[in-house]
Structure 1
Amino acid sequence: MNTKKIIALLLLSAAICFKRASAAKVDTVLTHSASMHADFKTVVIEPADYTVNKKFPVLYLLHGYSGKYSDWILKVPSIAQLADTYHMMIVCPDGNFAGWYFDSPMNKDWQYETYISTELVNWIDKHYSTIADRKGRAIAGLSMGGHGALYIAIKHQDTFGAAGSMSGVVDIRQFSDSFGIEQVLGKYSEYPERWEKNAVVDMIYLLKPNSLAITFDCGYDDFTYAGNQELHQKLLERKIPHDYTVRPGSHTWEYWGNSINYQALFFSRYFNNQK
């Protein structure tokens, strides 16, 4: 083997070692919910430069209907690289396969708004070196999680400074007979006021211009497209700044795996502008 090949192999070996050494740390932790009297698994991703001597921003990333806490890291493992690139933690909680991130009036064991907006946030801030302020917190999700992220952020603007949705079910009334929502809120025909009150498209009156940094997107062929278009129009009418993108695609992991790259950049810019 000639000298050039030896040097090339040594450089390749060094590069691989460096990549391994600088990789984000992915862990699964057990968190507690006092409101539901239960423990829940949560994926926590620490960037490679994580240290207790520095405070890090946190992106809470929610799964969709029929999913669980591990969906994002299993389906889109590259989110660990996003944590490294943007020097932020990523936390992927469990919202139940059909919990919809509500505090359910039908089931006292489904209090996922309280769990994520308060209990989980407090747990993460207690156990990790975080920026324990809305300026250092963002929340995003796909489908059911897209609804959950906007819903929780709008209701808890003192906790989250930025929110994002990918193919979000932003008008739950369009799916009153689907996806188990009636298990959480009751039947639409019996409790219409609950559905009206908890539809994201009808919650934007709680927003003021620049009170929340918002980004959301949807595939043109997605069944949630109409609801997302309506949300965009209502935000425009109320002059609420936001980023909205329509791309080719539908309700698939291929779409969300691409979308998260743009949303992570949006949140990084938000975090950096808060310094």
Structure 2
Amino acid sequence: MALMTCSFFSEVLGFNTEIVAIIPQATHTQVGLQGKASSDRHPTLFLLHGLSDDHTIWLRRTSIERYAAELGLAVIMPNVQRSFYTDMAYGPDYWSYLSLELPRIVRGFFPLSDKREDNFVAGLSMGGYGAFKWALSCPDQFAAAASLSGALNMNNDEHIARYPKDMQLIFGGEPLAGTKHDLLHLLDAGAELNGPKPLLYQCCGTEDFLYQDNLVFRDHAEQCSFDLTYQEGPGNHTWDYWDARIQDVLAWLPLQNRK
């Protein structure tokens, strides 16, 4: 795998921002690593970070580079600060950056496929929210989306109580139910669409403080007849849980070139 950190000027954000990119590389000379790469443009996983982290965290806390190498899968990890993947009420337009500018930028840098069937998004905690928000808002862009211990029920007042300053800066103190920020509303809207819907994968540890929110999302997704793979078991809001579960996500992804 070719690993690089890229800094570039974002016209949407109005300042330099960073990504970490893992790009497939066919190699048999790296000790302990079997690389795989297509001669065509690569399938891509956009992998999103949580509230307290940044674009480097998945690389530092898991073995995502090693896990992706055998699949010939590119992994793009952007930095969105504490934005909840949203055009902030009092801050930068991170949603517009993520959904409109980032795919174009990285496909200009690297040989990445723009085909829906080759594009996936996943994330943990705040990033789980971002992954489902992106896929449900833009179902024509992604074949599949995964949430690991995601903050999936933003109608829960506990989020506001837990992070009042962040919620004010991000959402401006407005109610989220029934808006474009409400994943349950996005499920309802997606159920009415005639076009393709992304496959969804959801997991959460039963000891996680977000477990009940995950049950709410699971039940609503099933009511809306989404193709949802749900997994739960012992676990908390910790990296040992996410390191194990991201391997499950990669095994679940509908990769066209999987042997």
- TM-score normalised by length of structure 1: 0.82
Equivalent in 119, 126, 142 of residue 101 of structure 2: 119
**Residue 3 of structure 2 is aligned to residue 26 of structure 1:** yes
Q: Which letter does structure 2 place at the counterpart of 1:58?
A: T
What do residues 12-68 of structure 1 show as CA deviations (whole Å, max 9, x unaligned)? xxxxxxxxxxxx221101133211111211000012327684211000000001111
Contact 1:46 1:83 in 2 (8 A): no
What do residues 104-162 of structure 1 show as CA deviations (whole Å, max 9, x unaligned)? 2x22x421111111211001111211111221111110000000110111111122221
Q: 1:223 to 1:53 in 2, by over 3 A?
A: same
Q: Which letter does structure 1 place at the counterpart of 2:118?
A: G
Larger radius of gyration between Structure 1 and Structure 2: 1
Q: Percent identity?
A: 25
| Number of residues of Structure 1 aligned to a counterpart in Structure 2 | 241
Aligned residue for 1:272, secondary structure, equals: coil
Structure 1 residue runs of 5 or longer lacking an equivalent are 1-23
Aligned residue for 2:135, secondary structure, equals: helix
Q: Which letter does structure 1 place at the counterpart of 2:65?
A: A
Match in the other structure for 2:76: 91
Higher helix share: 1
Match in the other structure for 1:239: 225
Match in the other structure for 1:81: 66
Quote the RMSD (CA, aligned, Å). Answer: 1.9
**Residue 238 of structure 2 is aligned to residue 271 of structure 1:** no
Q: Which letter does structure 2 place at the counterpart of 1:27?
A: M
Find the aligned partners of 2:50 and 2:40 in 1 and give their Cα distance.
Answer: 32
Find the aligned partners of 1:223 and 1:182 in 2 and give their Cα distance.
Answer: 21
- What displacement does 1:265 show? 1.4
Contact 2:38 2:72 in 1 (8 A): no
Match in the other structure for 1:228: 214
Q: After alignment, is 29-38 or 143-152 more displaced?
A: 29-38
Match in the other structure for 1:6: none
**Residue 27 of structure 2 is aligned to residue 43 of structure 1:** no
Q: Which letter does structure 2 place at the counterpart of 1:219?
A: G
- What displacement does 1:95 show? 1.2
Q: 1:273 to 1:128 in 2, by over 3 A?
A: closer
Q: After alignment, is 146-155 or 168-177 more displaced?
A: 168-177
Contact 1:31 1:120 in 2 (8 A): no
Equivalent in 146, 155, 161 of residue 177 of structure 1: 161
- What displacement does 1:248 show? 0.7
